[in-house]
Amino acid sequence: MRVTLAFVLVAGAVTAAVVGGGVLARGGGSGGEAPSAQKPSSSTTPLADYDTTTARVARAPFCDAIDDRQVDAVLGEVPDALEWRNGDEIDLSGGGSDVVHEFGCRYAVQDVGTAQAWVFAPPVDASRAARLVKSAEKAAGCQVGSGPAFGSPTLALTCTTRDGTTRASYRGLFGDAWLVCEVELPTGSAGSADIADVAGRWCVGVLEAASA
Q: What number of CA atoms fall less than 13 Å from residue 211's CA on the CB side?
A: 16
Residue 29 has pLDDT above 50, yes or no: no
Return d(Cα 185, Cα 164) in angstroms, integer. Answer: 9
pLDDT of 68 reads 96
pLDDT above 80 (res 35): no
Neighbours of 193 (CB within 10 A): 14
pLDDT tens per residue across span 117-172: 999 999 999 999 999 999 999 998 999 998 799 999 999 999 998 889 999 999 99
Q: Are strands 142-144 and 113-120 parallel, antiparallel or unpaired?
A: unpaired
**Cα–Cα–Cα angle for 56, 155, 125, rounded to 5 degrees:** 50
Looking at residue 63, its amino acid is C
> Packing angle between helix 68-75 and helix 195-210, nearest 10 degrees?
160
Cβ–Cβ < 8 Å for 136, 180: no
- pLDDT greater than 90 at residue 34: no
What's this model's pTM, rounded to 2 decimal places?
0.81
pLDDT at 212 over 80: no
- 1 Cβ contact partners less than 8 Å away, ≥ 6 residues apart: 98, 99
Cα–Cα distance, 47 to 6 (Å, whole number): 22
pLDDT band at 208 (very low <50, low <70, confident <90, very high): very high
> Helix, strand or coil for residue 37?
coil
pLDDT for residue 146: 85
Q: For residue 84, what pLDDT is reported?
A: 95
- Written as one letter, the residue type at 77 is E
Using one digit for the tens of pLDDT, what is the confidence trace for 54-108?
Answer: 899 999 999 999 999 999 999 999 999 999 999 998 775 555 688 989 999 999 9
Taking 90 as the threshold, does the pLDDT of residue 1 lie above it?
A: no
**Backbone dihedral angles phi then psi of residue 11, each to the nearest 5 degrees:** -85, 0
Q: What is the CATH number of domain 6-27+45-210?
A: 3.40.1000
How high is the pLDDT of residue 20?
45
- For 115, the 3-state DSSP assignment is strand
| pLDDT computed for residue 51 by the predictor | 92
In the chain, domain spans:
6-27+45-210
Instruction: State CA 20 to chain mean position distance.
Output: 20
